[in-house]
């Protein structure tokens, strides 16, 4: 007997039913029956063998029972568990062995941690005893401790040398304990001189340090696998000994330098470096301990370690820091070395002692941490062994229990299968298992149940067919479309509920009748009958529309879709037609055509502009009113898009609304936009945009209505202008001024700039108004308003507050001086006489101006106006016709400026101005060809002052004009004297700088001519240098004077070229013959490629325009050579000669003089 798997397949006999596997069972059979097939009705039973009881040779083999197999699995699992346990215990043993080695290393390092500080201290003591700083008696206790330390080292080395490999094979010979002891004894013998003793100490300290590092490596202390103990070991083996050595070395270095008494800058630098290295190692030690603190966390051993080490670390770090601070303060940074040798030695001892204490404590904590870890590892090993034994016992018990249970359940299934095979269909199997055996029992029970249900299932299949037929009928009846099925003779075989509702016939009334007899006009009967008599599948239209007649005679339109059923020969047997009543749709289409016609009439004859706009904003259709509004023909507009006629700033208006319409919104857009008329003028339009689309689709086009509101906008603009402007002068009034001031201050908050408000009150205007009448007063106010507006920038605001009060608002000023310059221009412009048409007299008014600056971002517009008003009244109290700045600090500066101006006036009276001259060298020949005249003030109290100390005050006060006249005359006089004495050649010239105020003097040309005449010099002997700003600001009268000077033969030069506007236009229109390259570009000529390119460009520009180029600020030979290579004409600078009262000039024979 054998077990085999039985699969029963059941195929449903009715239409479109898939096959299903119904039953899986076990049954008893012989080997000969293993593939027998039994067919019963629609059930096939297929028997498949699970396994044969004998092999192919007929021999019988012993079968493994389930509990045997489970036992093997348990033994295999136990073997794997044992292997894993072995690996775990092996790793644990290695970890314990590693900790043992580290503890041996700690034991070996014990004597070394005392030896190293003692040796370092002994070296220091010996030196201090020799210097008389320490008594010799202090050496004996220290030597005894060192002897004890070496004795302890010899003892521990004898026990641990083999474990730690300190036998000499891998260690330097001098670092061997025995060798160190011999060297120490030699040091104690006193055979060395001072230098030898120092060297011997150094070797001993180095050998101890080497031995510490070696033991730390061989004991794996520096390779500890845990972060906390690793950083403790690093602090113990590396950082602590290094700090002890660094402390001793620093103390010895400083002591040596103090002994010699020769302390140089390199010595200070070396000590500073030693201090830096000392603090660096102290920081590394601190970082290591802090890292160890963090690594151990809040564990008990971690807290104990922090409690023990943290106070000592703080004490040691403070001692090292104090030593470094004392060394830096008293030795490195002090101008005079103030080191107290006794106090310094005490600081060294304190640092060394606290460091040694901290070192010993680190070793103790490291040992405790390692011992704790070792105890924990031993405990882990014990628990691991116990866990393995428990797991083995549990595995064996579970294996036996599972074997017995599975054998019972499998036997029950086998007996049930045998019973079912004998025809007992009521057989069921009960098992306790919920695994695969339970699933097999459940499948067996399901198979038996399915066999009983097969007959019932056939009955249910027939019932389902009837239900499906009823379902199809229900679907046809609930469909919203007309559904008609008729045969090839046109007789109706199906007629759904929708057809009954629409036509008025019931299915019973139409079934079997030809549809044309019921629903088509009589004239269509014959052709329709002929059509269906020989109908082919290809003749049947897929879609068409047709008119049917209801029972009450009313006609309706139907949109039909057709399909054909064909037989095996391809002949049509039935036609299925589905239709939709489109009567309402056709009526809607007719209504739509009527509406479109009405829209066309309204569109074409509308009084406002209308257009249809498609994708890309193109015009699809425009009406007559829009063509007239934009001054274009219909053809022109249809060839354009909306952007072509829209103002560029307004084209995007309504873009979001249009995008929303494209996305499905029906909300219209209303707005105001500007358009361009064909003649270029602006046309304002009130715009309404609406989408036109089929329901649910994207817009096909937009209907746009544009009403011309240009006249209304212009009227509104006039009203706004009248509300915000003064009716008399046309200037902004107070309301507009305050609005603009508010905007300017808001911008200044975001982008800090200087803003000035100038409050102007006319002095003497009331007298004019009272004596000549208000009409004359109004004329004067209009004239003054025009003058004020002419003196400010287009971006500034000039407002009239009423009466004779005006306000000027200037934003984005460069400096306070800019506001002052504007105020001075305003006072000058206002102070000019006002001619009155029809009167022979002229009237004059002056201006008192108060200036308020936005130096405080918290100022409000009202604050600014109030401050300017207060400053204006201050100007009036100071004598009128002046300006005053509302600035407390400026009041103090004004006092200083008055003092400087007074000094300048006194200097003019006392003739205390002197000239210094700087030579100008011709680069091609190396000869001096000119000098630049530079003014100096000989002050009795402060000595010789440069121009920077007084020129600005002189410019502001107007004293620059007499000072400039003095410089001009003195330069001409000195040049004439040099020529007369033969010091300079006849073509030698002098250059004089002109200020902005001098350049605008109306008698400038005459002043220059008089100076040349008095010195009996030709005009070509003089060159006048002006800044670019002066030239750019020159008005017509000033330019005429420059032309007159050029025609006289006086040279005109641009000083500091490239730092101002540097515009080519004024080089072309101004009478300039010289350009001077600013010293800022010459300074970077050799090192900065950008400066080199600028200088090259200026030189080439001068060559192209026929101008002489002079380089300023030449200070080294490289600059001089490069300027020669670039083709520069002349140069001046400290390399060629400093400004002097009597500079070295060339003699008449052309030889260059040197200083």
Pairing mode, strands 834-835 and 842-843: antiparallel
In this structure, the number of other CB atoms found within 10 A of the CB of residue 834 comes to: 18
DSSP of 1125-1141, one letter per residue? HHT--EE-STTT---BS
What is the number of other CB atoms lying within 10 angstroms of the CB of residue 740?
18
- Nearest CA to 186 out of 172, 203, 169 is that of 203
| Residue 954: per-residue pLDDT | 86
Other CB atoms within 10 A of residue 560 CB: 18
Coil, helix or strand at residue 547: strand
Strand-pair category, 928-939 with 943-945: antiparallel
Cα distance between residue 914 and residue 1144, in whole Å = 17
Measured distance between the N- and C-terminal CA atoms of the chain, rounded to whole angstroms: 135
Q: What is the DSSP letter of 432?
A: S
Pairing state between β 2-10 and 20-29:
antiparallel
Integer-rounded Cα Rg, in Å, for the chain is 58
- Is residue 981 within 8 A of residue 1026, CB to CB? The reply is no
DSSP string spanning 31-42? GGGTT-EEEETT
Residue 753 tokens read as 């700039």
Cα angle 1053, 1055, 1060 (rounded to 5 degrees) comes to 120
Q: What is the DSSP letter of 1072?
A: -
Distance CA 23, CA 90 (A): 55
* Beta strand ranges found along 748-863 (DSSP E): 754-763, 797-802, 805-813, 834-835, 842-843, 846-853
> Which DSSP string corresponds to 129-177?
HHHTSS-GGGHHHHHHHHHHHHHHHHHHHHHHHHHHT-SSSSS-GGGSH
pLDDT mean for each 10 residues of the chain (1155 residues): 36 34 36 39 37 45 61 74 76 79 83 86 81 79 87 83 68 73 78 77 84 80 77 85 89 78 79 89 89 84 86 91 88 72 83 89 85 81 80 77 72 75 74 72 77 69 77 74 86 88 88 88 85 78 82 88 82 86 82 78 84 89 91 91 90 84 85 92 92 67 89 83 86 92 85 89 85 87 94 92 92 89 93 84 90 79 89 83 76 62 89 93 93 92 86 82 93 94 92 88 92 94 86 76 91 81 64 89 90 91 90 94 94 92 55 37
Residues 812 and 854: their CA atoms lie apart, in Å, by: 10
pLDDT of residue 13: 33
Report residue 666 as tokens: 């029906």
pLDDT at 845: 92
Q: Are 619 and 612 in contact (CB under 8 A)?
A: yes
Report whether 791 contacts 826 (CB < 8 A): yes
Task: Look up residue 832 and give its DSSP letter.
Answer: S
Residues 6+ apart with CB under 8 A from 462: none
Reference 211, options 172, 154, 159; nearest CA is 172
Question: pTM for this one?
Answer: 0.35
CB neighbourhood size of 1139 (10 A): 18
Q: Mind listing the domains of the chain with CATH numbers?
A: 2-55+425-457 (no CATH), 114-205 (no CATH), 220-403 (no CATH), 479-581 (3.30.450.20), 606-715 (3.30.450.20), 726-886 (3.30.70.270), 898-1131 (3.20.20.450)
Task: For residues 380 and 89, give the distance between their C-alpha atoms in angstroms, rounded to a whole number.
Answer: 9
User: What pLDDT score was predicted for residue 241?
Assistant: 92
> How many beta carbons lie within 10 A of that of residue 1054, not counting itself?
25
Q: How far is the C-alpha of 462 from the C-alpha of 454, rounded, in Å?
A: 13
Can you tell me the distance from the alpha carbon of 342 to that of 2, in angstroms, rounded to the nearest whole number?
A: 108
What pLDDT score does 32 carry?
42
The sheet carrying 669-676 orders its strands as: 619-622, 609-613, 701-708, 682-692, 669-676
Q: Which residue has the tokens 């090839």?
A: 488
Three-state secondary-structure class, residue 982: coil
Alpha carbon 621 to its chain's center: 50
Question: Contacts for 834-838 with beta carbons within 8 Å, 24 or more apart?
Answer: 834/779, 834/780, 834/783, 834/784, 836/772, 836/776, 836/779, 837/779
Determine the pLDDT at residue 1150: 39
Helix H or strand E encompassing 629:
helix 624-630
What pLDDT score does 826 carry? 94
């Amino acid at each position: 007997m054998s077990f085999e798997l039985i699969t029963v397949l059941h195929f449903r006999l009715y239409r479109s039913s898939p096959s299903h596997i119904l039953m899986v069972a076990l049954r008893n059979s012989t080997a000969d029956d293993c593939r027998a097939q039994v067919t019963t009705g629609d059930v096939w039973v297929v028997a498949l063998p699970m396994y044969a009881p004998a092999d192919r040779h007929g021999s019988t083999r012993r079968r493994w029972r389930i509990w045997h197999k489970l036992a093997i699995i348990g033994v295999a699992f136990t073997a794997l568990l044992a292997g894993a346990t072995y690996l775990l215990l092996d790793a644990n043993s290695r970890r314990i062995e590693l900790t043992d080695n580290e503890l041996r290393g700690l034991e070996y390092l014990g004597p070394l941690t005392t030896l190293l500080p003692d040796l370092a201290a002994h070296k220091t003591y010996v030196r201090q005893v020799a210097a008389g700083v320490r008594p010799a008696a202090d050496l004996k206790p220290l030597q005894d401790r060192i002897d004890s330390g070496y004795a302890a080292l010899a003892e521990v080395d004898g026990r641990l040398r083999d474990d730690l490999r300190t036998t000499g094979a891998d260690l330097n010979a001098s670092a061997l304990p025995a060798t160190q002891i011999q060297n120490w004894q030699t040091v104690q013998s006193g055979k060395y001189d001072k230098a030898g003793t120092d060297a011997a100490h150094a070797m001993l300290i180095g050998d101890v340090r080497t031995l510490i590092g070696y033991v730390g490596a061989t004991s794996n202390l520096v390779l500890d696998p845990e972060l906390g103990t690793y950083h403790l070991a690093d602090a113990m083996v590396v950082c602590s000994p290094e700090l002890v050595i660094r402390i001793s070395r620093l103390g010895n270095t400083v002591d040596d330098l103090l002994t010699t008494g020769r302390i140089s800058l390199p010595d200070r630098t070396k000590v500073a470096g030693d201090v830096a290295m000392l603090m660096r190692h102290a920081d590394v030690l601190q970082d290591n301990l802090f890292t160890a603190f963090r690594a151990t966390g809040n564990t008990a051993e971690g807290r104990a370690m922090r409690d023990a080490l943290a106070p000592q670390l703080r004490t040691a770090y403070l001692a090292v820091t104090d030593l470094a601070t004392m060394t830096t303060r008293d030795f490195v940074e002090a101008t005079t070395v103030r080191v107290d040798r006794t106090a310094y030695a005490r600081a060294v001892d304190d640092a060394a002692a606290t460091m040694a204490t901290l070192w010993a404590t680190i070793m103790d904590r490291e040992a405790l941490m390692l011992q704790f870890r070792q105890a924990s590892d031993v405990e882990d090993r014990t628990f691991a062994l116990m866990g393995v034994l428990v797991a083995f016992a549990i595995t064996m018990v579970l294996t036996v229990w599972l074997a017995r249970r599975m054998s019972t359940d499998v036997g029950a299934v086998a007996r049930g299968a045998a019973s079912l095979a004998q025809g007992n269909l009521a057989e069921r199997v009960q098992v306790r298992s919920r695994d695969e055996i339970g699933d097999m029992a459940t499948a067996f029970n399901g198979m038996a149940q399915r066999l009983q249900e097969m007959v019932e299932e056939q009955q249910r299949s027939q019932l389902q067919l009837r239900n499906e037929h009823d379902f199809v009928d229900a679907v046809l009846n609930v469909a919203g479309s007309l559904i008609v099925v008729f045969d090839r003779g046109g007789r109706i075989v199906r007629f759904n509920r929708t057809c009954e509702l629409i036509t008025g016939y019931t299915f019973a009334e139409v079934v079997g009748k030809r549809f044309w007899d019921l629903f088509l006009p009589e004239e269509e009967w014959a052709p329709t009958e002929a059509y269906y008599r020989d109908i082919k599948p290809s003749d049947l239209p897929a879609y068409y529309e047709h008119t049917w007649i209801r029972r009450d005679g009313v006609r309706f339109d139907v949109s039909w879709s057709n399909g054909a059923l064909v037989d095996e020969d391809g002949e049509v047997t039935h036609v299925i037609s589905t239709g939709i009543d489109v009567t309402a749709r056709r009526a809607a289409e007719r209504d739509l055509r009527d509406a479109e016609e009405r829209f066309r009439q309204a569109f074409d004859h509308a009084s406002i502009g209308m257009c249809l706009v498609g994708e890309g904003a193109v015009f699809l259709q425009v009406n007559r009113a829009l063509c007239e509004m934009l001054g274009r023909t219909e053809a022109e507009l249809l060839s354009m898009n909306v952007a072509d006629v829209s103002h560029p700033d307004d084209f995007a208006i309504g873009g979001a609304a249009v995008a929303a319409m494209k996305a499905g919104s029906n909300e219209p857009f209303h707005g105001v936009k500007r358009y361009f008329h064909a003649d270029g003028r602006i046309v304002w339009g009130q715009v309404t945009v609406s989408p036109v689309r089929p329901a649910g689709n994207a817009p096909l086009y937009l209907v746009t209505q544009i009403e011309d509101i240009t006249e209304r906008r212009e009227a509104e603009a006039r009203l706004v202008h009248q509300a915000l402007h003064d009716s008399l002068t046309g200037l902004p009034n107070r309301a507009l001024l305050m609005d603009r001031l508010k905007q300017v201050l808001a911008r200044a908050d975001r982008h800090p700039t200087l803003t000035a408000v100038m409050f102007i009150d006319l002095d003497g205007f009331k007298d004019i108004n009272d004596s000549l009448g208000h009409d004359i007063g109004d004329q004067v106010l209009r004239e003054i308003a025009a003058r004020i507006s002419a003196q400010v920038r287009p971006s500034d605001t000039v407002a009239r507050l009423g009466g004779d009060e005006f306000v000027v608002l200037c934003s984005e000023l460069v400096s306070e001086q800019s506001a002052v310059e504007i105020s001075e221009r305003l006072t000058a412009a206002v102070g000019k006489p006002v001619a009155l048409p029809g009167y022979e007299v002229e009237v004059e008014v002056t201006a008192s101006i108060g200036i308020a600056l936005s130096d405080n971002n918290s100022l409000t517009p009202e604050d600014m106006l109030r401050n300017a008003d207060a400053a204006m009244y201050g100007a009036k109290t100071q004598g009128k016709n002046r300006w005053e700045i509302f600035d407390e600090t400026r009041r103090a500066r004004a006092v200083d400026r008055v003092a400087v101006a007074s000094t300048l006036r006194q200097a003019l009276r006392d003739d205390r101005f002197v000239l210094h001259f700087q030579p100008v060298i011709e680069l091609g020949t190396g000869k001096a060809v000119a000098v630049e005249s530079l003014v100096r003030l000989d002050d009795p109290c402060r000595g010789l002052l440069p121009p920077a100390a007084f020129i600005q005050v002189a410019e502001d006060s107007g004293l620059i004009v007499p000072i400039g006249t003095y410089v001009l005359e003195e330069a001409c006089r000195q040049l004439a004297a040099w020529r007369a004495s033969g010091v300079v050649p006849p073509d030698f010239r002098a250059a004089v700088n002109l200020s902005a105020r001098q350049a605008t003097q109306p008698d400038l040309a005459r002043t220059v001519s008089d100076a040349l005449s008095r010195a009996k010099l030709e005009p070509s002997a003089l060159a006048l240098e002006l800044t670019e700003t002066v030239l750019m600001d020159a008005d017509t009268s000033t330019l005429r004077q420059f032309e007159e000077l050029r025609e006289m033969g006086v040279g005109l030069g641009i000083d500091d070229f490239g730092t101002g506007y540097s515009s080519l236009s004024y080089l072309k229109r101004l009478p300039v013959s010289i350009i001077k390259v600013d010293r800022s570009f010459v300074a970077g000529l050799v090192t900065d490629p950008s400066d080199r390119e600028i200088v090259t460009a200026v030189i080439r520009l001068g060559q192209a325009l026929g101008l002489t180029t002079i380089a300023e600020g030449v200070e080294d030979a490289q600059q001089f050579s490069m300027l020669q290579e670039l083709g520069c004409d002349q140069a001046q600078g400290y390399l060629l000669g400093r400004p002097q009262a009597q500079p070295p000039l060339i003699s008449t024979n052309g030889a260059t003089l040197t200083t």
